Structure 1
């Protein structure tokens, strides 16, 4: 059995590796020979300490990802988010590799939004509005700046302090950001990304102009919500996995409309494989619901093992 510890996986991962692996995973997720099983939400003896188990299988890979969130770790100088991926040897059913993937998980999550933006955002998209200044937000900005000519980043922060700290982190990575209120950021944005733990809409649908691409990253459990339902009913909807998105993703808030056929949801893998259209006109408003699927973790773990 191979073991790739956190220090090694973090040293190996980069935006290009993550983008390539996640793109392949999203295509595989839309193929009939793949299976993505329901995510199981769990908690430790302290209910505030949470972890999620996400299993999946493709034509070539099978395994499980365990992602944890221990909020008290920050006080001890430890990461609050951690992740580990187990790959199975399908010939005998034993674990053939264990990959610690705390840092990798941030790259993988951002890569999914970048892959979607590569076919859904306008080619000339230059202004990015990012809601959130936490662990994931920086990776989102870096990943999106690789696939579109982003020159302006408008940061919507809960506080001036967290906003200023985030601007410094952006600057350290060569990106320039400006703090902006939500309405102003949405009205100017070509791409909007929400990277929060919100349980209510972060902005008004009327603030989003035609041609905008919107990615919801934070809604990955029942009750979470970042986008206004009015936006979902007006936009063209895409996601990583339709069956999961209507259960725990942003699309849970319009699940009844999807079930009755009023709204259509397209798996982004079908767009990437050429089986479904992505952006059809400069005025399309597109929404990508990224609730996260195990195949992304399995594919990036395999890519890291090859690179190592």
Structure 2
């Protein structure tokens, strides 16, 4: 078995490699060549933690495995650790034998940012100039770095429940040479592309915060009951997702479907756009929405890429298991 420790991931994995791995696996999912297993996610009754498993099998990339981990909300304040903790396990699809164990924290941050970035590449208007950020936590910095590589943005605007955290994303914008402005939510109408990355159980973004022609990536809803945007927005938009079953059950579409505003058939896989079996955006006035629920195959694809890089650079630790 190969082990790639968490401490090595940041020096191995690039945003470009993460993007390519996620784009490929989304395409394989839409082509029926890869599938995710049902998600298990539970409150464990200790430290207010949520813990679970995401896994799947990519028959094209020949990747089999799972990610185990979750959210410990008191980690940062109590222990100086990030709140999200995870580990990826890869198995040999021919024999079932464990092949690798990979640190999943930095990997998860990059693969989540890659997913929204893939959606921007394929769904945002080519002339998009104003980037909007809703959320300014740890993950938001990864999201913004990846997003700024997809279009020639000339401004970033941002809002957060805790305004004192906005310097996190202002710093990222400055590093990219793009001006940043803190705004009220109502001014998100100025944005051509928006990423929402919050952990809320009530909508923050209302339908009238979004202008015609905007692309919005909703990246924070991955549990039953969570909600970032008003359900009415999904009725106005063309909706895409990583996996439809998750979108309508634990993703942003769960609320719009429950209220009868959209049907399951109104939610499309982003992989269909990548494979050119769905037209994607069809006009400059169309609102497109990507519901990024986070699928196990994303983690497996990026982890497999990490293992290849670690072996090539002599960093992977081999143990007899």
Q: TM-score range by the shorter chain?
A: over 0.9
The Cα of 1:151 is off from its aligned counterpart by 2.0
The Cα of 1:42 is off from its aligned counterpart by 2.3
The Cα of 1:201 is off from its aligned counterpart by 1.4
Deviates more, 1:44-53 or 1:84-93: 44-53
- Which residue of 157, 161, 165 corresponds with 1:158? 161
Instruction: Note the 1:92-111 alignment, pairs <5 A.
Output: 92-111=95-114
CA distance in 2, matches of 1:18, 1:260: 32
In the alignment, what sits opposite 1:202?
204
Within the alignment, does 1:55 sit opposite 2:48 as a pair? no
**How many residues are matched?**
307
Aligned-CA RMSD value: 1.8
CA distance in 1, matches of 2:9, 2:303: 9
Stretches of structure 2 that go unaligned for 5 or more consecutive residues are 311-321
CA distance in 2, matches of 1:298, 1:247: 22
CA distance in 1, matches of 2:52, 2:126: 35
In the alignment, what sits opposite 1:219?
221
- Which residue of 86, 105, 109 corresponds with 2:89? 86
The question of whether the paired residues in 2 share the 8 Å contact of 1:133 and 1:166 is answered with yes
Give the alignment's TM-score, normalised by structure 2.
0.91
CA distance in 1, matches of 2:175, 2:85: 24
Stretches of structure 1 that go unaligned for 5 or more consecutive residues are none
The question of whether the paired residues in 2 share the 8 Å contact of 1:34 and 1:58 is answered with yes
The question of whether the paired residues in 2 share the 8 Å contact of 1:156 and 1:182 is answered with yes
- Secondary structure of the 1:67 match is strand
Instruction: Note the 1:1-308 alignment, pairs <5 A.
Output: 1-46=1-46, 48-59=48-59, 60-75=62-77, 76-168=79-171, 170-172=173-175, 174-184=177-187, 186-256=188-258, 261=263, 264-308=266-310
- Secondary structure of the 2:229 match is coil
- Could you say if the C-alpha distance between residues 94 and 175 of structure 1 is closer, same or farther in structure 2, counting changes exceeding 3 Å? farther
Give the alignment's TM-score, normalised by structure 1.
0.94
The question of whether the paired residues in 1 share the 8 Å contact of 2:244 and 2:264 is answered with no
